[in-house]
A and B are shown apart, each in its own frame.
Chain A
Amino acid sequence: MELERGTFLYEAWTARWSLLEGLMVTISSSVMTIIIGTVLGFAVGLVLTYGMLPFRILARLYVDIMRGIPVLVLILFTYYGLAILKIGVKPYWAGVIALSLFCISHVAENVRGAVQSIPQGQHEAGMAIGMRFFQRLRYIILPQAVRRALPPWVNTALEIVKGTTLLSVIGVVELLLANQQAIARNYMILQFYMAATIVYIIINFSIAQAAAALERRYAYLRY
């Protein structure tokens, strides 16, 4: 296929490597953040629910503060804060750290809500057959709570993918900034933003579909 100079496809083809790289940065920072945020958020969520009082208060403080700060501010704060403290991290990592801090707080709150929504009778039924706290958690409470936490978890994951666009302000060349750089060369504003938008929609649609499939997989568990 011959591509004519000056068409969108031509310009996109010219910029393909930097766009692809931007896409990879978006995906890798999202995945990294979601994994860190889910694992640590899960732990913080349990502390929030069952932790000893001082730890619970600390966790509560953390969650409330993180959820109250605009993500952009969190990103700038982390990036420049670390720089001021002379901790040298690349913008990419500063961004992943900031998004993770945000993600942890949301996952923690989701997990707490899901765990507390399991009726006390489930704990008591476990106690009555002699199960200990961690056994009850592992075999009775969490299997039910995880299924309830899935829908809000998907929301959080989608927020994170969208949130990676904010990393552009600290110079991380993710998908949005890669597009902006292409636009700076060819002024095809509408076309490139549209293309970027479609890619974000595809990513998030895929995540939502994967989660929906997971939910269907367990749909037989109606309770």
Chain B
Amino acid sequence: MRGFGTSGRLRHTRLQAVLAVAAMGAAVALPVVLVSVGGGVYDHEIASIQNAGYQIAVSSAGSHSITGAHADVARFGAVAGVTYVSPVLSIAVTAFNTTGAATAVLAEGVIPGEFEPTLGSTESGLFPSPLPLGDPTDRIHYANGTYSGPATYDVLVSSPFAQAYDVRTGDALALGLTANASSAVRYNVTGTFGVPPSIIGPIGAFAIVLPLSDLQVMTGYANGTGTIVPDAVDTIQIVVTGHVATDPSALESVRAQIQTLVPYYGVSSLGQEAAQLQAADSVLTGFDLALSSVGIAIGLLFLALVLFRRVESDRRAIGIRRAIGLPARSIAAGIVGDGLVLAAGGAAVGLFGGFLLVTFLAHFASSTVQEAAQLAVFDPRMLAELAAAVLALSVVASLAATRSALRLDLSEALR
């Protein structure tokens, strides 16, 4: 019956090895996915910031009139080195297409001539140039703090929006502040713009771009009736040129000058924002790794148990080796080696499994997860460090089993 006994135990041992490798694999796959996807998303956002056509952003949480926006353009534009100042006012509106279907969308009011230079290298390719918004300076309708001349009623729509609501260039699109179609105003769609593959990028967020003061037409405020459009978000994007664009300290000095003009607004340079994102990325990565270390600890505990069980069931063989006079270190090396083999198997399964999982998510997950997975970056150094750490820790995990093997009572083990 020895044959049966041996093969039964062998199967048992193999099953334990498979389970240990699977546990370590799952533990390693977690940080691979978290760090690769998280890091990828941050990298992408940082890259898009570094790709932006502007260098300084002024933001305020408060309500901001168009008068104020034009005044700020003049004030900020007077600072040496500043070439373009583009206020961007976001507001939720209701759009009614030709069939009368209503959709809530985010509209972005801009000064077309100032807005265009703020588009980064990727974004600018997505917009028609020059922007077909009729009124590059937003002055036909607005001048010197008053509204004069006719509004252009021109509007650009994003291509996903155009596709979803069957809106084409040349169509009419009614926009209103409320869901009441009768108080909406007719605009002309003069073009579409593409949306870059970004999750939290600035353009993906809005569906409609129109001249700033044309926002006011919607309320009748421009004609002396109605109320001023409250802006939900206020951003002023500032383009600098010359040495200011390349010299961080010069840029910082411009930022500081603008800050003194609007001490109550947030004024940040994109370099700072990128640095902040970088810092946030590091914090997130650290957090991911801390979280994953729980999983890895469990995997290692499992590994330790499996090795311990092996020593238990190999008492006889270990006893024989000790009795013959094999040194303790060779026994220990055998067990640590076993641990390393299992951990290496687990690390390989985890790295490859994590990679497969991310690839799978990039193809089949729901939209946001899919986008995030597509941005995943596999940093070979991080992965190598992870594998090395797991291997090093497996040595620690095999200590308990090694200890018990070396403490074996020979006269007991050889009974």
- The finding on whether chains A and B are genuine partners in a shared complex, rather than unrelated, reads no
